[in-house]
């Protein structure tokens, strides 16, 4: 198990290290809405105060983002890779609860995230994206875990310190991401309902955690910046001759398409696994708890998906937490199947072998493609330093690269007024920067 976890960590760290800072990473190096670079925790707090009132309420994850960007790039990658492995391990711990250590379940958890996350690079490797989605989901799952464990083990514990701690952490967890925050509240309420229905003691920490999550989610949703941002979107749509209804319908269409590519396969796997699981002779009490807890995660995933459908945004990366929540119940059933039956065992070996081979090929593709961007920016570093030393305030690079949009990296344009160029120029301290093909004139 240690070997598998270590290998996954190293492979994700390598991709993190070759994935360069990009766009919002450059922006969040500055105090939001100001021209001062972030250099301390107090700068981050000022930045997030401005952010809260002018752009959005995801204060917790943006504090994480700006705190990471304060560090040396090596340590950013170390921590980011650690957060990814931690998320996988929490997912694995939920799925494999009360079973023997199973590295195959952990590996399957990794490849599910790897292949089913439509914006893997933007949510795991891109530093701002990882803070928003990877780190945010890690916090939420860690907070959900004690509620899940209490339902599975029925071991009651309480105390004033625990009640206070869950209230505080509940605020943080609820304040991470809009649709996931709402899903978290649903999950806790559903857990409390199950506790009462099965005549379990209701711990004080479970209630204080719910109150904290509601307050945190409310603070995020009611941020004045959300409405400032929505107003700017409405204005932009109107200027383009569109309507907000048309925007919502377009985004809904995209989300349904994303769901067909990710949620549908997981649902099919869950149903198939559930049919097999229910037919196998196992302890009825344990089986019922596995099924109930998996259905609870499934319902929570749907709540997160429906909440996102009410949003005017439809970026692929916004599906990250939803897909994680759909992966968990499928893995729960898989982890509890009896693979001693020969046909099922053979099928499992074939599936894992195919996934391993495909993963090896896809990892190589990702590495080679991201390395193109990484190499280009490394070649530019001495040029940037030289121009700064000579007091030159404009830069034209002749090693422009182009890679697929799914990798979440876009090179500088040949137009200095392009948004990416403007943000990059500000970050490096130049009047303007641009990139052209090697055979173009400077």
Chunked mean pLDDT (size 10), the chain, 442 residues? 95 98 96 95 97 95 98 97 98 95 96 96 97 98 97 90 97 96 98 94 96 98 91 82 83 91 96 92 81 96 93 86 98 94 92 96 97 96 94 94 92 95 96 84 43
Q: What is the 3-state secondary structure (H, E, C) of 332-398?
A: HHHHCCCCCCHHHHHHHHHHHHHHHHHHHHHHHHHHHHHHHHHHHHHHHHHHHHHHHHCCCCEEEEC
- Bridge partners (DSSP) listed for residue 434: 396
Question: Which of 200, 210, 217, 190 shows the shortest CA–CA distance to 299?
Answer: 190
Identify the bridge partners of residue 394 per DSSP, sorted by sequence position.
432
Residue 432 three-state SS: strand
Cα–Cα distance list, 244 to 40, 56, 175 (Å): 40, 19, 26
DSSP 406: G
In terms of Cα–Cα distance, which of 297, 327, 33 is closest to 187? Answer: 297
Instruction: Quote the pLDDT of residue 442.
Output: 40
Contact indicator for 367, 407 with CB cutoff of 8 Å: no
pLDDT value at residue 439? 63
The per-residue pLDDT for 242 is 82
Question: 433: part of which helix (H) or strand (E)?
Answer: strand 432-435
């Amino acid at each position: 198990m240690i070997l598998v976890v270590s290998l996954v960590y190293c492979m994700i760290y390598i991709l993190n290290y070759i994935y360069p800072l990009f766009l919002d990473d450059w922006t969040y190096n500055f105090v939001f809405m100001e021209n001062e670079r972030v250099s301390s925790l107090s700068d981050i707090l000022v930045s997030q105060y401005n952010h809260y009132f002018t752009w959005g309420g995801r204060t917790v994850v943006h504090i994480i983002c700006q705190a990471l960007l304060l560090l040396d790039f090596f340590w950013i990658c170390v921590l980011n890779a650690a957060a990814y492995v931690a998320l996988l391990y929490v997912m694995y711990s939920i799925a494999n609860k009360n079973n023997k250590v199973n590295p195959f379940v952990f590996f399957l958890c990794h490849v599910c995230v790897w292949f089913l996350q439509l914006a893997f690079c933007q949510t795991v490797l891109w530093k701002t994206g990882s803070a928003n989605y990877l780190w945010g989901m890690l916090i939420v799952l860690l907070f959900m875990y004690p509620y899940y464990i209490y339902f599975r083990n029925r071991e009651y514990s309480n105390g004033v310190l625990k009640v206070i701690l869950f209230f505080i952490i509940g605020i943080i967890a609820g304040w991470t991401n809009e649709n996931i925050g709402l899903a978290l509240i649903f999950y806790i309420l559903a857990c409390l309902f199950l506790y009462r229905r099965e005549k379990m003691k209701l711990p004080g920490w479970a209630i204080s955690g719910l109150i904290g999550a509601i307050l945190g989610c409310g603070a995020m949703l009611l941020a004045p910046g959300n409405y400032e941002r929505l107003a700017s979107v409405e204005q932009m749509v109107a200027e383009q001759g569109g309507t907000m209804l048309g925007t919502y319908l377009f985004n809904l269409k995209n989300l349904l398409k994303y769901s067909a590519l990710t949620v549908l396969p997981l649902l099919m796997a869950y149903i198939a696994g559930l049919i097999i699981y229910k037919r196998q002779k196992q302890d009825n009490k344990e089986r019922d708890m596995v099924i109930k807890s998996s259905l609870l995660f499934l319902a929570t995933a749907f709540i997160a998906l429906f909440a996102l459908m009410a949003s005017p945004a439809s970026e692929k990366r916004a599906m990250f937490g939803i897909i994680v929540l759909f992966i968990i119940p499928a893995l729960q059933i898989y982890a509890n199947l009896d693979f001693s039956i020969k046909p099922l065992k053979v099928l499992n070996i074939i599936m894992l072998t195919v996934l391993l081979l495909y993963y090896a090929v896809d990892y190589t593709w990702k590495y080679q493609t991201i390395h193109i961007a990484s190499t280009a920016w490394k070649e530019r570093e001495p040029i940037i330093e030289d121009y700064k030393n000579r007091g030159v305030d404009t830069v034209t690079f002749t090693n422009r690269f182009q890679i697929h949009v799914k990798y979440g990296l876009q090179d500088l344009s040949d137009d200095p007024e392009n948004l990416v160029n403007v943000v990059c120029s500000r970050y490096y301290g130049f009047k303007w920067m641009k990139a052209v093909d090697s055979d173009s004139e400077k």
